[in-house]
Amino acid sequence: MRTHTYITLSLLIAGTLMTSGCNSAPPAAAKEIQTERTKDFAISLMSEKGELAMGQNRFIVVFRSTSNNQPVDAGTVTVGSSMAMPGMAPMTAPIEVEPAGSPGQYAAKGDFAMSGAWKFEVRWDGPAGKGVATFNTNVR
């Protein structure tokens, strides 16, 4: 009986992990932090809580076409972040970005040492062209 329970539990976990990355839309729990528009794209920062907080964060960068609201493959995506520090060099937080497994979605994670006003630069270079969008948002 015990072996059967372990097998059932293992299959449930494996099924959850396999289907969690197969959605073409942001996870249902993802809420918009901020959206910036360029000529061709609406680029959104999204997270589970709809905000970024001091410390370790995971969030999603979503690219959609402004003409038809469909996901867009942005190719290589990078995110830079900085916080102005009066009288000092800006504080930065490295952001790791990788494709999230769905078209137009990129998983990001970063560790913010302080709360306050942060500037984010999202850069892309891919099949739909290249560009940059700037976000000014608060880290709580």
If you write DSSP's letter for every residue of 79-129 in order, what string do you get? EEEEE--TTSPPEE--EEEEE-SSTTEEEEEEEESS-EEEEEEEEEEETTE
pLDDT band, residue 128 (cuts 50/70/90): confident
Amino acid (one-letter) located at 109:
K
Query: Is the pLDDT assigned to residue 13 strictly greater than 60?
Result: no
Q: Give the number of residues written for the chain.
A: 140
Which residue has better confidence, 111 or 2? Answer: 111
Return d(Cα 80, Cα 122) in angstroms, integer: 7
Q: Are 103 and 69 in contact (CB under 8 A)?
A: no
Confidence of residue 7 (pLDDT cuts 50, 70, 90): very low
What pLDDT, in 10s, does the model give residues 49-72?
999 999 999 999 999 999 999 999
pLDDT band for 26, please (50, 70, 90 cuts).
low
Cβ–Cβ < 8 Å for 17, 96: no
Taking a C-beta distance cutoff of 8 angstroms, is the pair 108, 122 a contact?
A: no
pLDDT digits (tens, 9 = 90+) for 100-123: 999 999 999 999 999 999 999 999
Report domain 26-139's class: mainly beta
Q: Looking at the predicted structure, is the pLDDT value of residue 12 above 70?
A: no
Q: For residue 133, what pLDDT is reported? A: 97
Q: Where are the domains of the chain?
A: 26-139
**pLDDT value at position 28?**
60
* CA–CA distance, 108 with 73 (Å, rounded to integer): 16
